[in-house]
Amino acid sequence: MTLLDGKGLSKTIKAEIANEVERLVASGGKRPHLAAVLVGDDPASHVYVRNKVRSCEQSGFESTLVQKPDDISEEELLRVIDGLNRDEDIDGFIVQLPLPKHIDAEKVTLAIDHRKDVDGFHPMNFGRMALGLSSYVPATPLGILTLLERHGVETSGKSCAVIGRSNIVGTPISILLSRKAKIGNATVTLLHSRSQNADEILAASDIIVAAIGIPNYVKAHMVKEGAVIVDVGINRVDDASAKRGYRLVGDVDFEAVKDKCSCITPVPGGVGPMTVTALLMNTLRAAKEEIYH
């Protein structure tokens, strides 16, 4: 069994990006600049945004953190976004989700200039992705594709089951793995809460992408001998023996399936670190104007 080590690969790619940034700057180019908008006091959001800012620094990006209180009005937040859209120094920016309930997240996403939408959540980017055009690809799916590619995992002609149809993971990764591309050309089945016979479909799949948010959901009997397993879940389960009183587990019962599969992403240290790295990849593309001018 091979561990699909996202932590290590993430370090490698960040170093590659840092090198490219230094070359860009040395040849008179602009340093890539990512901004992040953080609204309110959600502790998890703070951790995520801090990670993103720290990763920017590690790769030589400029970063700007815009913090706003929980009670910011929708109108005021839209003004902040408009400012970032107009700021010529900023190549891309993200608005950390979730937003407070009085703010319409859809309206906020649509307000972001799609040319700066390095999260890839704007319909313009999502549509371009689904149509096979160049686009920013949402960070988690892009991280997964990169992880598979760099580990030399063959996807063409393979059967692949994706569990979960969220807009940020399941739906886009199912589209991406289906399309005509190097990491693609798989026969993808998208499983969700209404699916029947999910266990049988999983047990017949060469590749499983689990993004359902249920701890240890994928058991040994659902895994084919030699399958490739990508575990997107990051779930807290109580653990009195752990320092913080909990530990992180994925959507896959790692111990039960690890000797049955050919490759698997650990949790933590698999898909998670790749997600932040994918955001840097998108931002570098934005700075280089590879997709939009």
Contacting positions for its own copies (CB under 8 A): 106, 122-133, 135, 156-157, 159, 165, 167, 171, 174-175, 178-180, 185-192, 194-198, 201
- From the candidates 5, 119, 251, 253, which is the catalytic residue? 119
Question: Residue 171 CB, nearest distance to its own copies (Å)?
Answer: 7
How many CB atoms are closer than 10 A to CB 84?
21
Question: Residue 162 CB, nearest distance to its own copies (Å)?
Answer: 10
- 258 is a catalytic site residue: no
- From the candidates 5, 14, 96, 253, which is the catalytic residue? 96
Specify the residue, 17 or 188, whose C-beta has the smaller distance to its own copies. 188
Question: Residue 127 CB, nearest distance to its own copies (Å)?
Answer: 3
Question: Residue 194 CB, nearest distance to its own copies (Å)?
Answer: 4
Specify the residue, 196 or 241, whose C-beta has the smaller distance to its own copies. 196
- 119 is a catalytic site residue: yes
CA 133, 135, 141, 147 torsion-angle sign: positive
**219 near 260, Cβ under 8 Å?**
no
Q: Which residues pair with residue 68 across a beta bridge? A: 39
Closest to 173 in 3D by CA, of 206, 235, 130:
130
Residues in CB range of 250: below 8 A, 6 or more apart: 210, 215, 216, 231, 232, 233, 234, 235, 265, 266, 267, 270
Which structure tokens are listed for 273? Answer: 């670190």
**174 near 208, Cβ under 8 Å?**
no
Return the exposure string of 266-291: e unless at least 16 CB atoms fall within 10 Å of the residue's CB, then b.
bbebbbbbbbbbbbbbbbbbbbeeeb
Annotated catalytic sites, by residue? 52, 96, 119
